Amino acid sequence: MTSSAADPGTAPRRLSDTLYSDMLLPPETIEIRNEARAFADRVLRPIAHELNCTPERADAFRFDVFKAIADAGLYEIPYGKDVGGRGLTYPTLGTLVVTEELAYYSPGIASAMYDAQAILVGGTLNSAGGTLRREFLPRIVRGEFVASFATSEPEASTDLSPAAIRTVATRAQGGWTLNGVKRWITNSPAAEFVVLLCRTGDQLSMMLANMRDPGVKVSAPDLKMGNHPQLTADITFTNVFVPDEHVVGAVGGGLRVALSSLMLGRMGIGAVGVGMGQRAMDVATDYIQHRKVYGRPIASFQHWQFRFAELATELETARSLYLKGAYVQDRGGDASILASMAKVKGSETAVDIARQAIQACGAYGFARHISGSNEKWPLEAIYRDAKIGEIYEGANEIQKWIVARQIFGRTITG
C-alpha cells in the first residue's frame, strides 16, 4: 500500500486550505504565510524525514537550513526597518505564521531556528533597545550567528525565582564574572552568543555572553525522544567575563525581560503545535481515503469521520488562538492570557492529532521506514516531536495556572 503521504517528495492536499478561512487576517500576514510555505515546500519538504529522524550529534546542527532561512529573508519578519527587518505593521502575526509553516515539515527546526533564534533571542535583544539591539539584531537578521536563550538549570526551570537560580554574576571591573550551569539550552552546540538569566545579588538579570570566551564549556548534545534537529546541551560558565554593555535592559530587571520573550515564545509553541498537527491531519486523512478494509475506505467509517471532524475543530481553535494572541500583541494589547491559552491548546492538540493519526493509519502510522518498499512515513516523528510542546517554555500546568489567576485572582490561586 502506498500513498502520497509516504513520499516526502510529494505532499497530500492541505486541509487547512479548504477548512480554514484567512479572511480575518491582514493581507500582509497572508502574503507572509504564502512566502513561508513556498520556502518550507522548497527547502524543508525534501529533507524533512532526514531532519526529523537523525539522532542528535555535536556536528548535526543544520547550518545549511539556518543559512537558507536567513537568505530567504525570513529573519527580517519580526523586526523593524532600522535593524534590517521588514518593519511590518503586524510583526508578531508574521513571525507566528512563519513558525507554523516551518513546523509543518519540521517542528524541531521551527522550535530551534525560529522560536529560539528569532523570537526568544531576537525578541529579547529587540526589547533591550540601546547598543545591544543596534549591534546584534542586524546580525541576527542576516543570519550571521546562531544564538541561545538560557533560563533553565539542572535544579531550576519552572521556578525562575532568585532563590532557585544558581548561575551567579558577581561584580568585576567594567562588568561581571559569571559562574554556573545552564541546562537544555537549544542551539548551544552551535551558538556564538547566549542570552542568559543569572542572579546579581538578590535579583535576576539577563546578560549576553560570548560562547567563544574562555571559561564557556558546552557538553555533547542531549539525546531526546524527539525534535532531533533542535540540539540542546548544558553550558557551564567558569569565571566568564561579561562587559557592562552586555547587560540586557537594567541590572535586576532580568526576569521581566525573560518573561516577556517567553510570552511570545509560548505563542510560537502554539503555532508549532498547529503546524505539526496540520501535517499529521493531512497525512492521515489522505491515507484513510485510499486504504480499504472490508472493501471500503477507512474514511467511510463514521468513527473516523467524527474523530477527524473533532480534531479539525480543535486545530482551528488552536490556530485562531495563536493568531488572536499575535494580533492583540501587534495592536499593543496585553496578550499574556491568550499566549498561555494558545500554548496549551496548540501543544495538546498536536499530541491528540498525532495519536489519532497513527491509530487511523495502523502500522503505517507507527513506522518510520518500511524497508521492503522503501517508504518513509512521517507520523512516528510527529508523535515523538509533539510531546515536548506540553512541557517546555513553561509547562502546560503553569499556563493553566496563569489563566486561573485571571479567573480567580492571586489571593485564591497563589
Ligand X SMILES: Cc1cc2nc3c(=O)[nH]c(=O)nc-3n(C[C@H](O)[C@H](O)[C@H](O)COP(=O)(O)OP(=O)(O)OC[C@H]3O[C@@H](n4cnc5c(N)ncnc54)[C@H](O)[C@@H]3O)c2cc1C
Name residues contacting ligand X, limited to 219-248 (CB under 6 A).
Answer: 224, 227, 230, 232
Smallest distance from the beta carbon of 184 to ligand X, in angstroms?
3
> Using the rule CB under 6 A, is 184 a contact of ligand X?
yes
Name residues contacting ligand X, limited to 122-151 (CB under 6 A).
Answer: 148-151
Structural contact between residues 298 and 149, judged by C-beta atoms closer than 8 angstroms: no
Residue with smaller CB distance to ligand X, 391 or 403: 391
Smallest distance from the beta carbon of 74 to ligand X, in angstroms?
20
Rounded CA separation 310/313 (Å): 5
Smallest distance from the beta carbon of 33 to ligand X, in angstroms?
26
Residue with smaller CB distance to ligand X, 20 or 401: 401
Distance (Å) of CA 121 to CA 112, 117, 149, 159, 352: 11, 5, 6, 20, 30
Instruction: Give the containing element (helix H, strand E) for 406.
Output: helix 396-408
C-alpha cell at 257: 525581560
Rounded CA separation 332/321 (Å): 17
DSSP state of 383: H
Structural contact between residues 328 and 334, judged by C-beta atoms closer than 8 angstroms: yes
Which among 63-71, 88-96, 133-141, 152-160 is the span making contact with ligand X, rule CB under 6 A? 152-160
Length in residues, the chain? 414
* End-to-end CA gap in the chain: 55
Rounded CA separation 109/146 (Å): 13
Q: According to CB under 6 A, which one of 75, 287, 304, 392 is a site residue for ligand X?
A: 392
Identity of the amino acid at 128: A
Residues touching ligand X: how many (CB under 6 A)?
23
> Using the rule CB under 6 A, is 170 a contact of ligand X?
no
Q: How many other C-beta atoms are found inside a 10 Å radius of the C-beta of residue 391?
A: 14
Smallest distance from the beta carbon of 156 to ligand X, in angstroms?
7
Smallest distance from the beta carbon of 191 to ligand X, in angstroms?
10
Smallest distance from the beta carbon of 269 to ligand X, in angstroms?
10
Residue with smaller CB distance to ligand X, 343 or 376: 343
**Binding mask of the shown chain, residues 343 to 382, with x at each position contacting ligand X by CB under 6 A:** ----------------------------------------
Contact set with ligand X (CB under 6 A): 116, 148-152, 157-158, 184-186, 224, 227, 230, 232, 388, 391-393, 395, 397-398, 401
